[in-house]
Amino acid sequence: MPQTISQKILAKHAGAKSVEPGQLINCKVDLVLGNDITAPPAIKEFEKIGVSRVFDKKKIYLVPDHFTPAKDIKSAEQVKVMRKFAHKYGIVNFFEIGCMGVEHALLPEMGAIKAGDLIIGADSHTCTYGALGAFSTGVGSTDMAAAMATGEVWFKVPEQLKFVYRGKLPKWVEAKDLILYTIGQIGVDGARYMSLEFTGPVISKLSVEGRLTMANMAIEAGGKNGIFEPDIKVFQYLKSRIKNLNSSFVIRNSALRSDPDAEYAKIYDWDVSELEPQVAYPHLPSNVHPVSKNRHIKLDQSVIGSCTNGRIEDMRVAAKILKGKKVHPDVRLIILPATQQVELRMIKEGLMEIFIKAGAAVSTPTCGPCLGGHMGILAEGERSIATTNRNFVGRMGHPKSEVYLSNVAVAAASAVLGFIGSPEDLK
């Protein structure tokens, strides 16, 4: 039967010729991921199983990124649990301070992800890796524990949605705007437990970094996973990070392309030529408005970074906006490079100097304020614009604070303006 790329990856890992939506399957996994919040409870459950070893020492990745460096005793103890587990079972991929990064930026950067992989992570934004043609999704800590022991996980095969984007993106409109617009159109539950496949002429022109941003937020529409068919850009990205990568595997393998007659629950087809930068108002990522409708909403803080928009491409956009300008005196601008490599390139390219001269605070790689962790928590009544992925009540601090989501250009421009606005407002 005709299959989408997601169905083909699931079928292969289940040892089946094909799979159908709603079918329950057991799959072998290529990678299991946990962080400093989700790994400790998974480790506790793993120890209850009573096995003497993990299924594969090289396929488990433990990344302490949410409260790094540790902000208090509790967060330090969480990482200690991970560290001891890694030492006990010989886990190869445990990342200490100084070599870690925000997990969903770090793994693609280091070449841990391949097209066609099946990846689970005890973090909802594990769906990020769909940008590279992998089926990747978030699971609970108990599923992570079972997978660490067996190398397997069960799935209900999701229904499929297809999103086609046509036209040409206007200036200052980024991948973040495409996904915010999409969530605004279908709602935060519009793709509940479904696979979101992103395609079309606009997508083919997007950078891999932009695709990572879009796949990252598939979960914000309720999706099980977000995915892109791998093309030459993906191959070049992977080849620069993975030794002995076979080009035919990525470019010409029909297993990594949806069949032309594959079935979708629904197909959305949009011309985005007139799309403005989008801003998601509190307290849902679906509460989306064009930036022209947002002017003069005063801000206390702007955050640029996270697993959604903390890559070097994002930092270059921010630097382009901020060069020669000053952050508004009433605004705190916090910039969080997603990995050590991103931070190093910021230094080499002179971006760090631009940010500091503008009046920004630049952090070591960390999730930081995105989940209300540290390094930018909001007080009662404060308002922040952020390139992060969620703006729920209390997400970044006090339950009576507000978070607005935007692309990098808007977040940088707004930090200078003192209110939500576009780079066009700086002229």
pLDDT at 79: 94
| pLDDT tens per residue across span 375-400 | 899 999 999 999 999 999 889 899 99
What is the 3-class SS of 33-84, one letter each residue? EEECCCHHHHHHHHHHHCCCCCCCCCCEEEECCCCCCCCCHHHHHHHHHHHH
Question: How many residues does the structure list for the chain?
Answer: 427
Contact between 79 and 35 under an 8 Å Cβ cutoff? The reply is no
Helix (DSSP H) and strand (DSSP E) numbers for the chain? 15, 18
Both tokens of 132, joined, read: 């590279």
50: how many CB neighbours lie within 10 A of its CB? Answer: 7
What single DSSP character describes residue 203? Answer: H
For the chain, 427 residues long, the average pLDDT of each consecutive 10-residue run is 95 96 97 96 95 96 92 93 96 91 95 95 96 96 96 96 97 97 96 96 96 97 96 91 68 76 96 97 95 87 96 97 97 96 96 97 91 90 96 91 97 97 90
Domain architecture of the chain: domains with CATH: 5-15+23-247+263-271 (3.30.499.10), 279-422 (3.30.499.10)
| Residue among 191, 269, 197 at smallest CA distance from 7 | 197
Instruction: At 13, list the tokens.
Output: 């890992």
The whole-number pLDDT of residue 250 equals 54
Gyration radius of the chain's alpha carbons? 21
Q: Give me the residues paired with residue 119 across strands.
A: 31, 136
Pairing of strands 24-28, 152-156: antiparallel
Q: Residue 218 and residue 6: Cα distance in Å, rounded?
A: 14
Q: What is the pLDDT of residues 115-163, one digit of tens each?
A: 999 999 999 999 999 999 999 999 999 999 999 999 999 999 999 999 9
Query: How many CB atoms are located within 10 Å of the residue 167 CB?
Result: 14
Q: What are phi and psi of 223, to 5 degrees?
A: -70, 150
Q: How far apart are CA 256 and CA 7, in angstroms?
A: 10
**DSSP H helical segments within 273-407, as ranges?**
306-309, 312-322, 340-348, 351-358
What CA–CA distance (Å, rounded) separates 162 from 338? 29
Per the omega criterion (within 30 degrees of 0), is the bond before 283 cis?
yes
- The set of residues, in sequence order, having a beta carbon less than 8 Å from that of 347 and lying 6+ positions away, is none
For 347, the token pair is 């230094």
Q: Is 214 helix (H, G, I), strand (E, B) or coil?
A: helix
Helix (H), strand (E) at residue 334: strand 332-336
